[in-house]
Amino acid sequence: MTDQQFFKIFTIVSLIIVFIAIVIGILSNIFASYSIHPSQNYQSLNQENELTRTAPAGKINLASNPTIEQTAAAAQVRESICDSMEGEFITHEVKMLNANSSGAMVFEPSFIRINTCDSINFEMVDAGHNAETVAAPEGSIAFNTMYKESTIIQFDTNGLYLYQCAPHAMMAMAGIIEVGDSNNLDQMKSEIEKFESNVMIPEVKTRMSDLFRQNVN
The secondary structure of residue 126, as a DSSP letter, is: S
- How far, CA to CA in Å, does 115 sit from each of 92, 107, 157? 10, 19, 10
> Which stretch, 36-44, 158-166, 175-183, 209-217, contacts Cu ion (CB under 5 A)?
158-166
Round to whole Å and give the CA distance between 123 and 75: 24
Round to whole Å and give the CA distance between 36 and 34: 7
Q: How many residues bind Cu ion (CB under 5 A)?
A: 4
Nearer to Cu ion among residue 59 and residue 213 (C-beta): 59
Nearer to Cu ion among residue 171 and residue 188 (C-beta): 171
Binding to Cu ion by residue 166, rule CB under 5 A?
no
Shortest spacing between CB 23 and Cu ion, in angstroms: 39
> Which stretch, 125-133, 153-161, 183-191, 197-205, contacts Cu ion (CB under 5 A)?
125-133
Which residue of 112, 118, 129, 178 would you call a contact of Cu ion, by CB under 5 A? 129
Helical residues (DSSP H) of the chain, grouped into ranges: 3-30, 42-48, 68-75, 185-196, 207-215
Which residue of 168, 172, 188, 211 would you call a contact of Cu ion, by CB under 5 A? 168
Round to whole Å and give the CA distance between 42 and 75: 8
Binding to Cu ion by residue 148, rule CB under 5 A?
no
Q: How many helices (H) and strands (E) does the chain have?
A: 5, 9
> Which stretch, 122-130, 146-154, 182-190, 197-205, contacts Cu ion (CB under 5 A)?
122-130
Instruction: List contacts with Cu ion (CB under 5 A).
Output: 129, 165, 168, 173
